[in-house]
């Protein structure tokens, strides 16, 4: 559970540290979603309604006629869509019509057709075309059924009429025989019985003929009325974008969320692979040396900017207090009694390419001079990454515009009598090799900025310093992470238990043979303090 909490806290720290980048990603995503919305805007939609009337059956109260669910299928069939697509300008294919047209039956006798189009007019025209195509199709089908039925009824009427004529002829013949032979004779009685049956058949035939004539005339009193044709009861409505606001929000918020999520994954992956140290505790644990101060640095980019920093460095209150505490911890009244002209010697080491760490030494010197301490800033060991600073120091050696208590030199000055000498040493990041003559006889600090060095860089720098018998007594962190709540001030127990204790060179190990330029293994006792005097 504790490991999970640490992971969540570190993840949250990464995201908060890059909150501006996440915000930029979200804004870009929102703009991208908005751009896609305008490139592919939501279509306009229009609706029309078709009435599907039903026929009332006589005596039953039931209805018959069109079935709405079936008509939904018919309205979206290829037959109807092809008819309607041909009426559009330009003509639409059945596939395009399928994507744009939908139908539903809100009631048993109403069919609602919804059509979409890139413009309001096209949506209206498409809804109207589909409704009219459906009505025309239903009318054609109804006419086809009625014509076939009328033909069958007419054939049956002709048959019944012929049968009625035959029955009437037989009735006349029977009546004549009865009149000739009389009803009392045996033949008369038979003709009278036949006449009675023929009369009944004639009556039935006459009724059937009347019913057929009524059906042909549209007056079917037995099966009810023939259903009337379908009709458009609601013309195509005005095309509109009812969901434009919702679609816009979806595209904008969706794009922002997608870009922010992708940026979050990218930051987490790159942070996991990034070996650079960010927090004070990570920096202190890397080599087992405590962080004694944290200062905001403003690394200049040109010789002129460096000279301006030396002439008038004015830190804000938190940085001023941090530098004051640093000087109080290093300097005591004992420096006044030192016979050497350099006074208290402070060696500030930085790693090449770390501009913020490089600015720590000049800021300490300028601040000390502004507080009345006679200070000398000596550009001791140079690196090509610090060329602009060295150029500024060379020009500033004339003391032009510098505070009275500050002097800047690039070579030892035996005549100078100062209270504090700050030696600047820039070590190569890959092959740190401090000059023993330039770093000897002083108290050493390592100046690094947050997220600028790795564990290996720090270990290499400390090992290189230890090989020339220089003890690094503390670390000054430049530009600490604003979200870092650690201090980096290790107790002796914590320092002894750190994962990478302070390294000791091979030359200090018993029985070891020193190899020129070889890296020292981690572990082992710490080398005693450097030869330089320390106050108090």
> Tens digits of per-residue pLDDT, 172-209?
888 888 777 777 777 777 877 887 888 888 888 888 88
Q: Please provide the average confidence, as pLDDT, over all residues in the chain.
A: 78
C-alpha 131/C-alpha 89 separation (Å) is 17
Tell me, yes or no, whether 429 and 473 share the same domain. yes
Beta carbons of 265 and 19 less than 8 angstroms apart: no
Q: How many residues does the chain have?
A: 536
Whether 191 is covered by a domain: the verdict is yes
- Whether a cis peptide bond, with omega within 30° of 0, leads into 508 is no
pLDDT band for 232, please (50, 70, 90 cuts): confident
Tell me, yes or no, whether 138 and 210 share the same domain. yes
CA 66 distance to own-chain centroid = 50
Whether 56 is covered by a domain: the verdict is yes
Query: What's the average model confidence in pLDDT over 5-9?
Result: 50
Provide the pLDDT for residue 489: 79
Whether 210 is covered by a domain: the verdict is yes
Beta carbons of 58 and 138 less than 8 angstroms apart: no
Provide the pLDDT for residue 297: 92
pTM of the model: 0.53
- Please give the residue that has the higher pLDDT: either 322 or 10: 322
Q: Please, which residues have CB within 8 angstroms of residue 17's CB and are 6 or more apart in sequence?
A: 278, 481, 482, 483
Query: What's the average model confidence in pLDDT over 283-296?
Result: 92
Q: Please, which residues have CB within 8 angstroms of residue 423's CB and are 6 or more apart in sequence?
A: 345, 346, 347, 348, 361, 378, 380, 438, 439, 442
pLDDT in tens, 98-119: 888 999 888 888 889 988 888 8
C-alpha 170/C-alpha 159 separation (Å) is 17
C-alpha 344/C-alpha 530 separation (Å) is 13
143-152, 324-333, 380-389, 417-426: least confidently modelled range = 143-152
Provide the pLDDT for residue 274: 57
pLDDT in tens, 206-217: 888 887 777 666
- Residue 465, pLDDT above cutoff 90: yes
Whether 536 is covered by a domain: the verdict is no
Whether 67 is covered by a domain: the verdict is yes
Tell me, yes or no, whether 361 and 444 share the same domain. yes
Tell me, yes or no, whether 150 and 25 share the same domain. no
C-alpha 466/C-alpha 309 separation (Å) is 31
Provide the pLDDT for residue 502: 42
Count of domains for the chain:
3
Q: Closest Cα to residue 135, out of 52, 235, 206?
A: 52
Tell me, yes or no, whether 12 and 67 share the same domain. no
Tell me, yes or no, whether 118 and 154 share the same domain. yes
Tell me, yes or no, whether 146 and 290 share the same domain. no
Query: What's the average model confidence in pLDDT over 139-159?
Result: 72
Tell me, yes or no, whether 156 and 185 share the same domain. yes
Mark which of 242, 273, 304 sits at the end of a domain.
Answer: 273
Tell me, yes or no, whether 192 and 326 share the same domain. no
Domain that holds residue 23: 2-35+255-273
Whether 71 is covered by a domain: the verdict is yes
Whether 518 is covered by a domain: the verdict is no
Tell me, yes or no, whether 27 and 79 share the same domain. no
Whether 226 is covered by a domain: the verdict is yes
pLDDT in tens, 483-516: 788 888 776 555 455 444 444 333 333 333 333 3
Tell me, yes or no, whether 115 and 189 share the same domain. yes
- Please give the residue that has the higher pLDDT: either 355 or 136: 355
C-alpha 477/C-alpha 279 separation (Å) is 9
Tell me, yes or no, whether 358 and 421 share the same domain. yes
pLDDT band for 231, please (50, 70, 90 cuts): confident
C-alpha 176/C-alpha 168 separation (Å) is 12
CATH number at residue 447: 3.40.50
């Amino acid at each position: 559970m504790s490991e999970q909490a640490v992971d969540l806290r570190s993840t949250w720290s990464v995201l908060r540290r890059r909150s501006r980048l996440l915000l930029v990603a979200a804004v870009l995503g929102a703009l991208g979603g908005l751009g896609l919305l305008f490139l592919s805007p939501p279509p306009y939609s229009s609706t029309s309604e078709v009435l599907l009337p039903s026929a009332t059956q006589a005596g039953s109260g039931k209805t018959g006629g069109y079935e709405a669910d079936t008509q939904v299928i018919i309205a979206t069939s290829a037959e109807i869509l092809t008819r309607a697509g041909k009426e559009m300008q330009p003509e639409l294919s059945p596939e395009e019509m399928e994507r744009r047209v939908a139908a539903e039956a809100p009631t048993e006798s109403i069919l609602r057709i919804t059509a979409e189009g890139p413009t309001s007019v096209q949506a209206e025209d498409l809804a109207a075309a589909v409704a009219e195509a459906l009505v025309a199709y239903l009318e054609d089908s109804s006419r086809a059924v009625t014509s076939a039925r009328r033909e069958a009824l007419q054939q049956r009427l002709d048959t019944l009429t012929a049968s009625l004529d035959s029955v009437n002829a037989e009735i006349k013949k029977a009546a004549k025989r009865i009149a000739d032979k009389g009803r009392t004779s045996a033949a008369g009685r038979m003709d009278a019985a036949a006449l009675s049956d023929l009369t009944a058949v004639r009556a039935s035939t006459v009724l059937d003929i009347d019913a057929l004539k009524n059906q042909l005339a549209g007056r079917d009193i037995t099966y009810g009325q023939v259903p009337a044709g379908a009709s458009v009861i609601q013309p195509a409505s005005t095309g509109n974008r009812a969901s434009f606001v919702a679609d816009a929000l979806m595209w904008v918020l969706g794009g922002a969320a997608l870009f922010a999520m992708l940026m979050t994954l990218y930051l987490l992956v790159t942070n996991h692979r990034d070996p650079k140290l960010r927090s004070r505790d990570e920096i202190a644990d890397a080599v087992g040396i405590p962080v004694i101060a944290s200062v905001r640095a403003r690394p200049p980019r040109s010789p002129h900017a460096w000279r301006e920093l030396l002439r008038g460095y004015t830190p804000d209150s938190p940085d001023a207090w941090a530098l004051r505490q640093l000087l109080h911890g290093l300097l005591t009244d004992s420096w006044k009694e030192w016979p050497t002209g350099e006074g208290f010697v402070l060696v500030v080491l930085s790693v090449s390419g770390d501009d913020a760490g490089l600015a720590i030494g000049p800021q300490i010197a300028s601040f000390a001079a502004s507080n009345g301490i006679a200070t000398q800033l000596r550009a001791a060991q140079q690196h090509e990454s610090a060329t602009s600073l060295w150029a500024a120091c060379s020009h500033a050696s004339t003391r032009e515009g510098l505070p009275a208590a500050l002097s800047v030199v690039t070579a030892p000055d035996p005549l100078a009598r100062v209270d504090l000498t700050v030696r600047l040493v820039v070590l190569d990041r890959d092959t740190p090799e401090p000059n023993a003559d330039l770093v000897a006889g002083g108290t050493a600090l390592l100046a690094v900025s947050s997220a600028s060095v790795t564990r290996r860089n720090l270990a290499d720098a400390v090992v290189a310093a230890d090989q020339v018998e220089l003890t690094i007594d503390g670390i000054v962190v430049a530009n600490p992470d604003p979200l870092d709540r650690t201090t980096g001030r290790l107790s002796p127990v914590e320092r002894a238990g750190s994962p990478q204790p302070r390294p000791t060179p091979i030359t200090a190990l018993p029985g070891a043979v020193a190899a020129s330029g070889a890296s020292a293994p981690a572990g082992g006792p710490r080398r005693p303090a450097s030869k330089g005097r320390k106050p108090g």
